[in-house]
Amino acid sequence: MNSHQALFEPLRLPNGQTLPNRLAKAAMEEGMAEAGQLPGTAIERLYARWARGGVGLMITGNVMVDGRAMTGPGGIALERGTPLAPFQRWAEAAHAGGARIWMQINHPGRQVFAAMGGSSWAPSAVALELGKHSSLFAPPEAMSEAQIAEVIARFADSAALAERAGFDGVQIHAAHGYLLSQFLSPLANQRRDGWGGAIAQRARLLVEVVQAVRAAVSPDFAVAVKLNSADFQRGGFSEADARAVVLMLNELSVDVLELSGGSYESPAMQGRTADGRTLAREAYFLAFARELADVARMPLMTTGGIGRPAVAAEVLASGVALVGLGTALALAPDLPLAWRQGGEAAAPRPRVAWKDKVLAAMATMALVRRQLQRMGAGREPRPHASPALALLLDQLLKKRLTRRYRAWRAASAELAALKT
């Protein structure tokens, strides 16, 4: 009998949706949008490639709920007025192998590059602290009540549009230092109104976004949340905070809770922390997930450093229902098929051991994105590519895409002005 059989058992979610197995492609930022910040042929090819690889669930890279606020110039945005046909083709490509596809929806908050010229909204006007690299990001603007209400509505709109386009669910991104995560963090959120202070107030935006999204979609459409198990910054969002948020989410209709960790300031999702804590060499956040599994009513998923079947099986045995594979599937897209056949294949592990931790994190992300681009072009990944070359090519591409994005934003703003 295949010792990894548990990985290929179906999972029935609280809303009745069934995932064909327990392996999920976790979100990775593709940066592969075509003109107009829309999905196109490259991203269809990429998801068709993963569809052949045997995962039961694919969660897209973050799709922005506001085209004025993007994590990168190659990002995709879905908001009122966005054409749905490209998104329908994306969903169809992902469905080809029988997997479910959920769209990760997100607002970057203050994690917006200054060169892009977009909006940098945040709970408080607290800038990112990245040493000499801090100036790469736009100075943040503390949000008004009206802007908070707009963001809630935008999450609901994007979820409803994702359902119309044929996606099976959405994942609300409240991790990795993006806007909802910023509201959760006592370092980034220094408000003294009803949106800041104790964890109940800091979690209010996430709770209201979940409620608005759930109200905007059908009962059988999945609503998931991605949450940090901790920020791994001294004085930041803690394990106790995470536990309190899980208890709040228990009272809402959440179908899956994915546990991750870190932010741009402390990239724990890459195995690095700012507070000096040492993460496990594999399955970085499993110890945190084990503790939260005791209180969470919804199925849990954990992602981060998983690339061997024995580790994936350990995750399931720990009470976690879904195994998230990110970088592993960027480098070895057929890994689930190999495991289903009883193989012990392990994904390569990119390691960028540079002294400059910010540049190392950027190079790691560039290396992964390079493999996604290769698959989007119909080629296979090259796991041992040069991180320096990947970073250089990524920066050159980013400059070109930034010019295109700024031109699109200017045209969109001009069109909006004509309508008023």
> Residue 79 maps to which CATH number?
3.20.20.70
The region of weakest confidence among 229-243, 307-321, 353-367 is 229-243
Q: For 148-164, what is each residue's pLDDT tens digit? A: 999 999 999 999 999 99
Sign of torsion over alpha carbons 47, 48, 53, 59: positive
If you average pLDDT over residues 265-284, what whole number do you get? 49
Query: What integer pLDDT is reported at residue 287 of this predicted model?
Result: 78
Of the segments 67-76, 110-119, 283-292, 337-346, which one has the largest average pLDDT value? 67-76
Angle made by CA atoms 38, 74, 91, in degrees to the nearest 5 = 40
Please state the domain count of the chain. Answer: 1
Q: For 401-411, what is each residue's pLDDT tens digit? A: 999 999 999 99
Examine the pLDDT at 322 and tell me if it is beyond 50: yes
pLDDT band, residue 342 (cuts 50/70/90)? confident
Q: For 14-47, what is each residue's pLDDT tens digit? A: 999 999 999 999 999 999 999 999 999 999 999 9
How far CA 407 is from CA of 41, 57, 183, 310, in Å, comes to 22, 35, 31, 48
Q: Which domain holds residue 302?
A: 5-419
Examine the pLDDT at 230 and tell me if it is beyond 70: no
If you average pLDDT over residues 52-56, what whole number do you get? 96
If you average pLDDT over residues 294-308, what whole number do you get? 90
Q: For 130-139, what is each residue's pLDDT tens digit? A: 777 778 888 8
Contact by Cβ (8 Å): 212, 223: no
pLDDT band, residue 278 (cuts 50/70/90)? very low
Closest listed residue to residue 259, CA positions, set 284, 289, 294, 234: 289
pLDDT band, residue 281 (cuts 50/70/90)? low
If you average pLDDT over residues 103-112, what whole number do you get? 95
If you average pLDDT over residues 263-270, what whole number do you get? 50
Examine the pLDDT at 297 and tell me if it is beyond 90: yes
pLDDT band, residue 275 (cuts 50/70/90)? very low
Half-sphere exposure (Cβ direction) of 34: Cα atoms closer than 13 Å: 12
Task: For the chain, give the percent of residues with pLDDT over 90.
Answer: 66
Query: What integer pLDDT is reported at residue 39 of this predicted model?
Result: 98
Examine the pLDDT at 8 and tell me if it is beyond 80: yes
If you average pLDDT over residues 301-327, what whole number do you get? 90
Tokens (6 digits) for 238: 């803690």
- Residue 169 — φ and ψ, nearest 5°? 180, 180
Examine the pLDDT at 274 and tell me if it is beyond 60: no
Residue 172 CB partners (closer than 8 Å, separation 6+): 105, 106, 155, 180, 206, 209, 210, 213, 223, 224, 225, 226
Position with higher pLDDT, 291 vs 104: 104
- In the beta sheet, which residues pair with residue 103? 170
Examine the pLDDT at 370 and tell me if it is beyond 60: yes
Beta strand spans in 197-347 (E): 222-228, 256-260, 300-303, 322-325
Mean pLDDT of the chain: 89
Examine the pLDDT at 377 and tell me if it is beyond 60: yes
- SS3 state at 246: helix
Q: For 187-216, what is each residue's pLDDT tens digit? A: 999 999 999 999 999 999 999 999 999 999
Task: For the chain, give the percent of residues with pLDDT over 70.
Answer: 91
The region of weakest confidence among 107-111, 210-214, 290-294, 311-315 is 290-294
If you average pLDDT over residues 255-259, what whole number do you get? 95
Position with higher pLDDT, 179 vs 3: 179
